[in-house]
Structure formats: structure tokens, C-alpha cells
A and B are shown apart, each in its own frame.
Chain A
Amino acid sequence: LPQAFPLPSLPRKQPTVLVVCGPAQNGAIGLVCARHLRIFDYEPTIFYPKRSPDPLYRDFTTQCEKMDIPFLSYLPTEVQLINDAYNAVVDAVLGAEAEVGEGREPCAAILATLKHIRIPIVSLDVPSGWDAESGSSGGISPDVLVSLAAPKECARRFVGRQHFVAGRFLPYDVQKKFELNAPEYPGTECVVAL
């Protein structure tokens, strides 16, 4: 996010970012992302309506709370409120693990709101609501996509401004075995722009 939206470039006075977290792993990644954004001097706010019972994810929540990252109790349906308050939205609602049709419903209202916002959306791994393989029809249109480990099939249909790969942890033999063609990361960076 700082590469796509560096602090000095943000339009609002405060470096606010809304992080919308879904109920599963993608949401948990959003929680970790929010914590690091706070360390990087952004002002994240989290919306995490359906919390996972997983102890690891509950600890991620505690870490964010103890770092004074506010948790919204509801997401405004009036999109102008979101446009005015934040510089960008991190979409950590659904990832590649979301089954078609199942588990999407509780998130449908969130995605309906996100479809109409004007500020940039950064999607983690898969634009939420997109089918991980075939892509979207009328779903959200993120400005930035951060593919985790390697781009998913649906990334071919991404038409936003910037596509990054992040998650520099795949051992070489896993990359070879699955023919991932993962890009070369520069130096010690953990993010590479495609």
C-alpha cells in the first residue's frame, strides 16, 4: 500500500485507510496488514463484522486493538461518508478460498457498498466477490491488486492501475513443482510490482 499510495501523496489531511476484513483467512491477513500500516504511520480503521473463532486470528484482533486501531461497529451504506473519511480501502473480505455461492452472502452487503465508492480499493489476493478462476462480472473494481505468493487465474482480468506480488516465502522447489513462474523480487524487498 505505501508503494501505491505513499504518505506524502495522500489527498486527505490524515493518512486514513479503511481495512475491511472478512470472516476467514483473507480477513486475518487484513488484520496483520492493518497492524503494519499503523507501524508505517498510516491511520488504519478496521471493519470486521464477522469474527473468526480461530485463536490465532483472535490474537491478531487483540494486537490491533491494543495498538489503538479503531474497529467500526457498522459500515456506512452512504458511500460519500467513506469517500470523505478515508484515502483508500483495503479489501480483505474474501480470498481464493471462498467457495462459489457459499459464505459469500454475509459479505454481499459490504461488497455492494464497496462497488460504489470512489476512493481507490486495494484487494488482497483476489478482488472479493470475484471467482478465483474466471473473474468478475459486475463485482468490485480494485485500483490495486496484491497477489499473495503468486497471481491467481482471475488476475488476468484485473484492469486496475497496479498489480503487485507479495508474500516472499515460497521455497524454490514449491515454485518449480507448481510451475508458478513467480517474479524476481528486487534485493530484500518483500513486494514486487508487475
Chain B
Amino acid sequence: QEEAQAIDQELFTEYKFSVDQLMELAGLSCATAIAKAYPPSSFTTSQPAVLVVCGPGNNGGDGLVCARHLKMFGYQPAVYYPKRPSKPLFEGLTTQCEKMDIPFLPEFPTEPAFIDELYGVVVDAIFGFSFKGAVREPFGSILSTLEHVTVPIASIDIPSGWDVEKGKADGLQPDMLISLTAPKKAAMHFTGRYHFLGGRFVPPALQEKYALNLPTYPGTDCVLQLT
């Protein structure tokens, strides 16, 4: 967790990347990975409907970007975003989604069965690699519901609720994990079908400095399928 935070810090302070830049590339990777694993033609719902659950921090921001690109790729995303930071970055991302007719649900579906009926995929953009400590409401209840959903869940960076290094055996078991920048230790406990790497923006010098040993991305793709 510390290493991931150190890399992030260097990207922002030494390389002068903006949060906006990296978040856009991260969210685009997530949408691309989801589109590769769950193409619109694979949905059994009448529309390729996707539920994107966004948490209160940067992972939620990644989710908002992802939702917008999913819309561009022909999906019908809907966003649940209960705790919104009052920062221009997140307000901007929210507006971009709203202006693209992406609905923001006023309530979270109370039953897992409702989610299974309406959506073909759920994107877990609740907590990321900075998560520490206890899960605050409403996210505790949301995660309990998600744990009983049968449609595939795609988690952004870390399955939400997991310890960032040790995982959580009785927690969310997503079908897909999109590791951003580099896989985190928790990824070792991932047992789902699809593990993608995204966030193709780490300068070669930084990869070397932290001995990331990242595999090669194919061509100009912004995602790499690890499993």
C-alpha cells in the first residue's frame, strides 16, 4: 500500500501529472477492460445495462470516468453516488455524466435480485488502494447487498472492503479485477475469472525505480489481460 502511494506521489509531485489526467486514463482503462470481458452482445438484459457504484474518494472518481466511457462504447450505465466530495474535479465528472444522460439513482436497490434483473454487470468503484480501517455507511450495507448479487462484479483496483494487502476471504468476490498501474498485494487473493492491468501511464524510469516488472502491453492497448 505504501509503495502504491509513493508511486502516486512521485507522479504528481515530480512528473507533474494532474489527478484529472491519471483519473481519465484509469477510468478509460476500466471501461475498456469491461468492454473486452463483457461485450454488449453478451448481456441477457434487453439493454447492455451496467450499474456503477461510486465511493467517496478517487476510486469513485475512476468509476465516474469509467461510466462515461462505457456510455461512449454503447453501454447503458447507471451510477449510484451517495457521498460526493465537493471538489471541482468530482463535480465536473458528475456533470459530464449527467449531461450524457447517465442516470444517477436516488436509492440503492435494496435486494440483490433487483440488481440481477436490471443490470448485466456491476462496477465496484467504492474503495481503492488508500482504504484503511472500518467501512462507513452507507457502504457497509451496499457491500452486503453486492456480496449476494449473481451478475458479474468488476472491481476497480481493489475489491472494496478488502484489506489492501491481505484481502478478505468473507468479503466481495468479484468476477473481474482491474489493477491500476500495477497489481496490489491483495490481487494475490483474487479468485475471479478476469484480471486486467490498466493505467498505462507509468514512465519507464519509475517502473524501474520501483521494480514493478510489468508485463508488456499489446500494441497501443490501454489494458492488458493478465488472466
Contact (Cβ within 8 A) B15 A62: yes
* Segment with Cβ contacts to B, from A45-53, A71-79, A86-94, A168-176: A168-176
Please tell me if the beta carbons of B201 and A39 are within 8 angstroms of each other in the complex: yes
A188 near B32 (CB under 8 angstroms)?
yes
Q: Let me know if B205 is at the binding interface, CB within 8 A.
A: yes
Within 8 A of B (CB), among A47-88: 56, 58-59, 62-63, 66-68
Residue of B nearest to A60 (CB): B16
For A68, list chain B residues within 8 Å (CB): 205
> Is there contact, CB below 8 Å, between B220 and A66?
no
A178 sits at the interface (CB 8 A): no
Complex Cα distance, B100 from A173, in Å, reads 8
Tell whether, in the assembled complex, residue A188 and residue B205 are in contact, meaning their CB atoms are under 8 Å apart.
no
In the assembled complex, the CB of B94 is this many whole angstroms from the nearest CB of chain A, namely: 14
Q: Are B17 and A63 in contact (CB under 8 A)?
A: yes
Give the size category of A's interface with B. 20 to 34
Segment 73-102 of B: residues with Cβ below 8 Å from A? 73, 99-101
Within B178-215, which residues are at the interface with A (CB < 8 Å)?
A: 200-201, 203-205
Asked, given contacts A168-B72, A169-B72, whether A67 binds B18 with beta carbons under 8 Å apart, the answer is no
A2 at interface (Cβ–Cβ under 8 A)? yes
Contacting pair A187 B14 (CB below 8 A): no
B100 & A188 in contact (Cβ 8 Å cutoff): no
Contacts known (A62-B15, A63-B17, A188-B73); A171 close to B35, Cβ less than 8 A: no
- Interface residues on chain B, size class: 20 to 34
Contact of A2 among B16, B200, B220 (CB under 8 A): B220
In the bound complex, CA of A176 to CA of B172 (Å): 41
**Residue among A2, A3, A187 making CB contact with B35, cutoff 8 Å:** A187
Are B203's CB and A66's CB within 8 A?
yes
Q: Which of B16, B36, B99, B204 contacts A188 (CB 8 A)?
A: B36
Nearest CB in chain A: distance from B11 CB, A:
9
A2: chain B residues at CB < 8 Å are 219-220
User: Is B122 an interface residue when CB atoms closer than 8 A count as contact?
Assistant: no
Given contacts A59-B16, A66-B16, A188-B31, could you give 6 more A-B pairs where the C-beta distance is less than 8 Å?
A: A3-B220, A38-B203, A39-B203, A40-B220, A66-B205, A67-B204
25 example contacts (A-B, Cβ-Cβ < 8 A) are as follows A2-B220, A3-B220, A38-B204, A39-B201, A39-B203, A40-B219, A40-B220, A56-B18, A58-B16, A62-B15, A63-B16, A63-B17, A66-B14, A66-B15, A67-B203, A67-B204, A169-B72, A171-B99, A171-B100, A172-B100, A173-B100, A187-B35, A188-B31, A188-B32, A188-B35
Residues of chain B touching chain A, judged by Cβ–Cβ distance below 8 Å, are: 14-18, 31-32, 35-36, 72-73, 99-101, 200-201, 203-205, 219-220
